[in-house]
Chain A
Amino acid sequence: MNPTSGLRARLAEAHRDQRVVDAVHLATWRKVEARADAMAGLRHYAALRDRAAQIRQHTLDHLPQYLEQFVERATALGATVHFAANADAACATVCDIAVSRGLKLAVKSKSMTTEEVHLNDALLAAGVRVVETDLGEFIVQIDRDRPSHIITPIIHKDRRQVARAMARELGCPYTEDPAEMTRIARQHLRDIFRRCDLGITGANFAVAETGTLCLVTNEGNGRMTVTRPRVHVALVGIEKIIPRLIDLPVILKLLARSSTGQPLGAYTTLITGPRREGDVDGPEELHIVLLDNGRSRILSGPFREVLRCVRCGACLNACPVYRNVGGHAYNSVYPGPIGSVLSPLLYGRPAEELPRASSLCGLCYQVCPVKIDIPRLLVQLRTATRARQPRGKRLLMRAWAWAMDRPWLYRLAQRLMRRLLPDDGTGWINRDNHLFRRPLRAWTAQRDLLRPPPQSFRELWKGGLGDER
């Protein structure tokens, strides 16, 4: 079986969903332009980007030391720190916290780590109701859908689909007015916030120096999630550490600009320990679950730099492949260019063909605020699956390389190609006029093939060009 053919079919099918493709085109182009405008207005963009990449890489290069410092500081502040080696352990830890304290209703702000470990399913099975409070994630949840973008989970939906889901699931009057839909969702969530006893978040950053968690949100739901319930649990990837508080603004300046073109997220929440004597709000208990789930393995391998990622989503917005297939086609919590690097590293075989689905145009690298060289990593990952490529392809590649090592054979192949390709006088080979339907079809299904002209360059050279003047 050709492993890429499954992925090819999946991507082709995703592209046939015109409504999704239109919605994703519209949204990604808007974000690409917003990002470009925001960066153009930022002084010292290149220097900031260099610095952000440096901070992230430095942290990864010294991660054990900074993790230790973070744990020490957070614990001293009264937080309880847990380690979760994998997704199951993470879910078990969070469920245990909830069940042992009799917590029944959880509110969540948007978090990729909780998506990664499928925490909602685990909590539900443990008898805890979980409500997503980020508007996009809320709609995903009520519509029993999956997020298709790491920042904009419903980028694939249009207004009508959202309106239908809300009318159906919330029993509210049907409306397509975004302001009205937001009001209805807010009202619904207010009631949940009033009753909840557990708040679940991820973290954008964890500051080693101060034991602080940093959350960036746009709707205020993050702030309510960490102040209203009695217990706050943050599930944080171990790579989210940054060394010092003064490193934070460097990255914050780039994060929201990369994501949405905003100078800063609407809410930047810094959480330093649970509620203290005299505080007016905040949780009685703060639990920080540090998630490994393959990260330390990635850290010790050649793909370490992928862990610099700050989950801004700029590479998804910039990617012409993502734009044409949407996020679901990647079959992974992490879609798009960064997902095509991260998913095979996290999930192995089932995702290992993703790196091939890229034209390597490099826009992902161009827009990455922490300079992850995604195209290079994609190429590197392709080497890993070489042995599992279809036999025909491996043979063809070897035969091609063998011929290219022998100029006489290369010239012969050039001449043979001209001889064997059909010639109807137009200079072109189209869908119908060639005998080699199968081998050429992958090309001619989408575009005509230029017939090589009667003389190659080297024949022109030999035939007089070389001796001119």
Chain B
Amino acid sequence: MEVALFATCLTDTFYPRVGQAVVRLLRHFGCRVCFPDGQTCCGQPAYNSGFHAEAAALLHRMTRVFAPYACVVTPSASCAAMVKHHGPPLLADNPPAHEAALRLADKTWEFNTFLRDQLNVDVAGLLRFEEPVTFHYPCHARELYSPADLQGWLRGNGHDVRTPVHADLCCGFGGVFAVEFPEVSGAMLDDKLTELAATGATLVICNEAACALQMMGGARRRGLPLRFKHLAECLAESLGLLEPAA
């Protein structure tokens, strides 16, 4: 199966290792992976901020970049949700573009759900953790997978998975919100990190680059010994496709 990787701008810039893990995993499970070099951003920051003309233009651009491919996979639930749910209505007054956006929505997959639903990979059976883990459930995964799904993937092989008291609590990032209302965003971050730290696990599974930027930076500022990894990195390490990282 041929798969086009939609790396997302944040993963591309800040978390190349996640992209690397995704590529090697997809190949490991028999996919041919392409990386269309023209890709940039799906337009979500503009969409969330109310700049919908700009967001529509960027989404339209995405539909052209990924037009040649039958299947698009991304390691970000947030960007997947943008492309799949919020994006198409932005192009409603331009029928051909809208049509293209609906096609893109239809063929775009969030990485974990792609493994589960398209490749039938038993993630729970393949993952190996040598230590207790906890997790952050990204808010924008809501229409893609549930906190229970995520727990299910982590829980295989008798792993010690420590569920935070409120598994679906927001990290406080929220895009432009994080810099427009930094005090409130920081307070939400405090609430989140307190719950994660209280689990006693120091490894946090976080499948979202934006949330990771917020929580890693927050944990470092507060001197908390939390480490954050995308599930793809853990799975690639478990299968020997990536050198284990600290």
**Residues in A lying within 8 Å of B, measured CB to CB:** 4, 7-8, 11-12, 15, 21, 25, 29, 32, 320-321, 323-325, 356-363, 366, 376, 379, 381-386, 397-398, 400-401, 404-405, 407, 410, 414, 417, 428, 430, 442-443, 445-450, 452-453, 455-461, 465-466, 468-469
CB neighbours of A414 from chain B (8 A): 12-13
Whether A455 lies near B50 (C-beta < 8 A) is no
Whether B54 lies near A401 (C-beta < 8 A) is yes
CB neighbours of B218 from chain A (8 A): 446-448
A461–B12 CA distance with the chains assembled, in angstroms: 10
- CB < 8 Å: which of B35, B46, B184, B186 contacts A325? B184
Whether A320 lies near B142 (C-beta < 8 A) is no
Whether B187 lies near A358 (C-beta < 8 A) is no
User: Which 10 pairs, one residue from A and one from B, show the smallest C-beta to C-beta distance?
Assistant: A359-B174, A382-B50, A446-B186, A447-B217, A361-B170, A401-B54, A457-B19, A12-B183, A442-B179, A457-B16
14 residue pairs A–B, Cβ–Cβ below 8 Å: A12-B181, A12-B183, A15-B183, A25-B191, A360-B174, A397-B45, A397-B51, A404-B9, A446-B221, A447-B221, A455-B16, A457-B11, A457-B12, A459-B16
Whether A446 lies near B23 (C-beta < 8 A) is no
Distance (whole angstroms) from the CB of A397 to the closest CB of chain B:
5
Interface of B is mostly: helix
Whether A445 lies near B13 (C-beta < 8 A) is no
Q: A447 and B189 in contact (CB under 8 A), knowing A405-B57, A457-B20, A461-B35?
A: yes
CB neighbours of A384 from chain B (8 A): 50
**Residues in B lying within 8 Å of A, measured CB to CB:** 7, 9, 11-20, 23-24, 27, 35, 37-41, 43, 45-52, 54-55, 57-58, 61, 86, 139-140, 142, 166, 168-170, 172-175, 177-189, 191, 213-214, 216-218, 220-221
Give the number of residue pairs across the A-B interface with Cβ within 8 Å. 193
CB neighbours of A446 from chain B (8 A): 182-183, 185-186, 189, 218, 221
- CB < 8 Å: which of B9, B40, B183 contacts A8? B183
Known: A320-B188, A404-B58. 9 other contacts (CB 8 A): A8-B183, A25-B191, A32-B166, A357-B184, A362-B139, A386-B51, A446-B189, A457-B19, A466-B35
Distance (whole angstroms) from the CB of B50 to the closest CB of chain A:
3
Distance (whole angstroms) from the CB of A358 to the closest CB of chain B:
7
Whether A443 lies near B183 (C-beta < 8 A) is no
